[in-house]
Amino acid sequence: MIEETGKVLSVEAGFAEVETIRTSTCTSCRARHGCGHHAIAQVSAANRMRMRAIDPLTVEVGQSVVVGIPEDTLLQASVWMYLIPLLGLVGGAVLPSIWGGESGIAVMLSIIGFAGGLLLARKKSKQEMNNLDYYPKILRIESLEGEQVPLVFAP
C-alpha cells in the first residue's frame, strides 16, 4: 500500500476531498545538495495535490489523515498510461523494417502507433473513471484539528 498524509478539505457522502503534499526520496538522497530536482521541488508550489478519496471512517474537515492506494492498482494504471503508448511507438517503428520499408514510413507509423496507444489509454481511463478500485482510500486519522498534546513536567 502506498501511503501519503493529507488534510481533509471537504466531506460528502462516502467521500472526502484531501490535499496532500507530495514528498520524494530527496531527503534521503546523498546527492540532494547538488541536485537541481531537489532545489526545484523545494520552491515549487506544484507539489500540492487534491484528490477525492473513499471515506470509510467518516472524517471531518481539518483532520490530518493517511490516504493509500494499493501498489498493484498503481502498477496497472502505469502500464496503461506509459507502456501501451510506448509499445505503439516501438511497434509502429519496427513494422516497416520487417517489410523493408523506408525510414520515412517508419517515422509516420511510429507517430500513428504512439497516438493510437494514447487513445487506447484515454479510452481505458474513461471506462475506469467510476471504478472505486482506482480511488485512494482513507486508511486512518492521524490527528484531530485542535488536538493538543499534554505537557508533563517532571519535578
Query: What do you get for the CA distance between the two ends of the chain, in Å?
Result: 44
Return the C-alpha cell found at 84.
501501451
Asked if the structure places residue 152 within a domain, the reply is no
**In-domain check, residue 155:** no
Query: What is the pLDDT tens value at each position of the chain, 155 positions in all?
Result: 888 888 999 999 899 999 987 655 555 566 555 666 555 565 655 677 888 999 998 888 988 999 998 888 888 889 999 999 999 999 999 998 888 878 889 999 999 999 999 999 999 999 988 888 888 999 999 865 555 555 566 66
Domain presence at residue 117: yes
Which domain covers residue 93, as residue numbers? 2-143
Paired residues of 42 in beta bridges: none
Residue 151 included in any domain: no
* Number of domains forming the structure of the chain: 1
How high is the pLDDT of residue 152? 61
- Asked if 68 and 99 touch (Cβ cutoff 8 Å), the reply is no
